[in-house]
Amino acid sequence: MLDAAMTKDQLLAELGALRERVFQLEREKKETALALKRYRHAEEGPSDSEAGYRDEKAPIALDISGRAEREEALRKSEEKHRHIIEHSTEGIFQMSPDGRLLSANPAFAAMFGFESARQIVGEGNDFCEKLCVDPQDRSKLLELVNGGKSFPGFEMKMRRRNGDVFLMSLNVGCIRDSHGDLLHCDGFATDITDRKRAEEALREAEMEMRRQSAMIGSLLDSIPDFIFYKDLNGVYLGCNHPFAELVGRPRDQIVGKTDYDLVERKKADFYREHDKRMLESSAPRQNEEWIAYPDGREKLVETLKTPLRGPDGAPIGILGISRDITERKRMEQQQQQLLKAESLTRMAGAIAHHFNNQLAVVMGGLEMAREDLGADHSIAALLTESCQAAGKAADISTRMLACLGQTSAELTALDLVQTCNRAIDRQVASFPQSIRIESSMPSEPIAIRGHGPKVEQVLSNLIANAQEAISDDKGTIRISVRVVSAREARATHLFPAGWTPQSDLYGCLEVCDTGCGIAVEQIDSIFDPFFSTKFTGRGLGLAEVQGIVRMHGGAVSVESAPGLGSVFSVFWPLAPIEAASLPKRAPRSAPPGEGAGFVLVVDDDCALRNLAAKMLGRLGRRVLTAAGGLEAIEVLRARESETRLVLLDLTMPGMNGWETLAGLRALRPDIAVILASGYDKAQAMEGSHTEFPQTFLHKPYGMMELKQAIDKVLGAPIPD
């Protein structure tokens, strides 16, 4: 007996073989019947009508041996196949060409909700007409049947006995007789409702997965970070669009490749080693590196690599995320520069204050000693040289403040073209013949708001820097002036840190040299005081440039590379610039009566206080002294009507200069005040105050500077 679970194709083959044997037996029956008829004719004799046709000598043979055996074999084969059909879980049926159901197995009947095949099989029972939901399906089925060809997988919507609709798949084979006429159709029917639902659910799941995949892909592409993933052998499995743009290849040309296919071997070795260490540690690893786009753009990226893990937690690949941190690093560097500049400003201011206070004592003492000894004395020349050296020391202090933008100067409208030409003319005369200076100046003036000598100082320092970069080699320094937009004033290396344009247009002074160039990592340090790539303590040239430019509200940018020279661009605010709307203070006049009254010297430094008193005495002034603010107020209260002028130190313990000035003016609103400090005027005068002095005197000062300040205050009304 055959297995009831045999496949459809096997069962159809068995049924076909069975039909062939049935047809053979039918032919044998016909031949046997004909032979028996001839035998009877031979025994009984021919009829009169047949006598003329019988060949009396013709032999008559009848071989019926094996017939019983074949009939028995046929019976057993029919029984075997009937058993298979009856117990098959597949619906098996036989249908006439006009759609009548000739036979069906129990599985076919059960498919429609019937208990037995007798309920669905019967004379004139067109099951398609009764149970088919869509008439078009029935018409199509009959069309295929009458076409005479076997057809698999024909799907029809059918109705069960209880009215439920299900989907049935038919695999039909057409059976023909020996003359080729269509006898009937044998077929298998399968309820594919659940399968179709499963397939539909699978399709929906696949569509959802595709939608999710597309959404994830879109999300990855929208992330500006460079995202990629590889297998354990370093073969790329995928990446997002920014990564493909970085590599300079379409994604389909990256997938399946390794780093050795995409970058130079040295870098690929580095990446592979990084991957290996990450996988060995089974923990994320991070590194920073400079990378270049195919078009030459460079970015500093921070790459994080982490293992991709399978369901069992074992690594199955590598996920990498690289983030562009160029701007972040630039902001961090700017912040560091700002903090450094702030620190240097405080330090330089404090140093200048104390340094200048002590220099004031030195210079004042030397000046008075030289005056007492006379010009013919043997050490007069030595004292003069000492005074000059002390003056140069004081100048260094001033330049240090200039480097940090802590100096002040009156800014007026001036022609940048004319100012630069004047500075170039002075420089050319002292230049070596091996270095050529070329200038490109517009015919029309470019008006900026600046201080002429300081603008010239900037150009002179930049020319000196370019000359040093060229050194003893032959080279060229090119100087140009033009007007640029605020957009052009932005650059990668822009100083001071954090500078942003405040107007649409700027005057640009550009100095370009063919010298040795500057490494990228050193550019942020070249404006530090005394920084040099050649040897320590070079000077204040570029630091002073930045300070002066900062004082003008401008900026300076640097473009350079080793062996390719350097370009320094200085951006100056154009004139005219509307002055800020500040409240105007009424000018104060010094009390009348030149030569009369005391000068009150207020300073916490005893040496400076005594030196100022001696200078004033030599200038013919009567002097009162006080070591602090409270003492000064008490002295003024005691000699209020006799005191005409106060020489007031800014930085004192307890009450500072501003607080003391307010206290003195509360007592005597018309008292004239000279404010003295080792700080620069801009730094000393910053802030909001209720009272202001008639003038400012910078330490160290000599008797001539002191006399000029007194004459200025007592000689005419002085605006605040």
**Residue-wise over 49-82: b if at least 16 C-beta within 10 A, else e?**
eeeeeeeeeeeeeeeeeeeeeeeeeeeeeeeebe
Q: What is the largest CA-CA distance in the chain?
A: 190
Q: Dihedrals φ, ψ of 256, to 5°?
A: 90, -10
CATH number of 223-324: 3.30.450.20
Provide the β-strand partners of residue 567.
Answer: 512, 559
Which strands sit side by side in the sheet containing 555-560, from one edge to the other?
435-440, 475-485, 505-513, 566-573, 555-560, 494-495
Which pLDDT score is estimated for 457?
86
Provide the β-strand partners of residue 171.
Answer: 188
**From CA 546, how far away is CA 557, in angstroms rounded?**
10
Please name the helix (run of DSSP H) or strand (run of DSSP E) that holds residue 221, with its range, or none: helix 193-222
Which tokens sit at 647?
Answer: 């020489």
Taking residue 157's Cβ as centre, other Cβ atoms within 10 Å add up to: 14
Which tokens sit at 470?
Answer: 């060229």
Strands 598-602 and 643-649: parallel
**From CA 15, how far away is CA 12, in angstroms rounded?**
5
Which pLDDT score is estimated for 597?
84
CATH number of 412-573: 3.30.565.10
Which pLDDT score is estimated for 716?
45
**From CA 718, how far away is CA 720, in angstroms rounded?**
7
- Check if the beta carbon of residue 351 is closer than 8 Å to that of residue 683: no
- Check if the beta carbon of residue 593 is closer than 8 Å to that of residue 644: yes
Give residue for tokens 């923990």. Answer: 283
Which pLDDT score is estimated for 23?
58
Q: Cβ neighbours of residue 300 under 8 Å, at least 6 residues apart?
A: 288, 289, 290, 291, 324, 325, 326, 329
Strands 101-104 and 435-440: unpaired
Report the SS3 class of residue 664.
Answer: helix
**From CA 713, how far away is CA 673, in angstroms rounded?**
8
User: Which segments in the chain show pLDDT lower than 70?
Assistant: 1-68, 70-71, 74, 77-78, 81, 122-127, 341, 344-346, 348-350, 352-353, 375, 394-410, 472, 490-492, 528-540, 576-596, 682-683, 716-720
What residue segments make up the domains of the chain, in order of their start?
1-88, 223-324, 412-573, 598-715
Q: Cβ neighbours of residue 81 under 8 Å, at least 6 residues apart?
A: 2, 14, 15, 18
Reference 309, options 264, 272, 279; nearest CA is: 279
State pTM to two decimals: 0.43
Can you point out the beta strands (E) in 542-591?
A: 555-560, 566-573
Can you point out the beta strands (E) in 311-461?
A: 315-324, 412-415, 435-440, 447-450
Which strands sit side by side in the sheet containing 182-191, from one edge to the other?
101-104, 91-95, 182-191, 165-176, 151-159
Query: Angle between the 657-667 and 629-638 helix axes, to the nearest 10 degrees?
Result: 20
DSSP labels for 608-627?
A: HHHHHHHHHHHTT-EEEEES
Q: Dihedrals φ, ψ of 562, to 5°?
A: -55, 130
**From CA 246, how far away is CA 241, in angstroms rounded?**
9
Report the SS3 class of residue 492.
Answer: coil
Please name the helix (run of DSSP H) or strand (run of DSSP E) that holds residue 644, with its range, or none: strand 643-649
Report the SS3 class of residue 153.
Answer: strand
Which pLDDT score is estimated for 243?
92
Which pLDDT score is estimated for 305?
93
**Cα three-residue angle 595-649-687, rounded to 5 degrees:** 115
**From CA 67, how far away is CA 24, in angstroms rounded?**
12
DSSP conformation class of 378: T
**From CA 494, how far away is CA 558, in angstroms rounded?**
7
Reference 714, options 664, 644, 633, 661; nearest CA is: 644
- Check if the beta carbon of residue 671 is closer than 8 Å to that of residue 664: yes
Provide the β-strand partners of residue 166.
Answer: 158
Write the secondary structure of 80-128 as one string of H (helix), E (strand) and C (coil): HHHHHHHHCCCEEEEECCCCCEEEECHHHHHHCCCCCHHHCCCCCCCHH
**From CA 110, how far away is CA 107, in angstroms rounded?**
5
Q: How far is CA 145 from CA 98, 140, 171, in A?
A: 9, 9, 11
Taking residue 217's Cβ as centre, other Cβ atoms within 10 Å add up to: 14
Architecture of domain 598-715: 3-Layer(aba) Sandwich (3.40)
Which pLDDT score is estimated for 127?
67
| CB-facing half-sphere around the CA of 184: CA atoms within 13 A | 12
- Reported as a single tens digit per residue, the pLDDT across 624-650 is 999 998 999 999 999 988 999 999 998
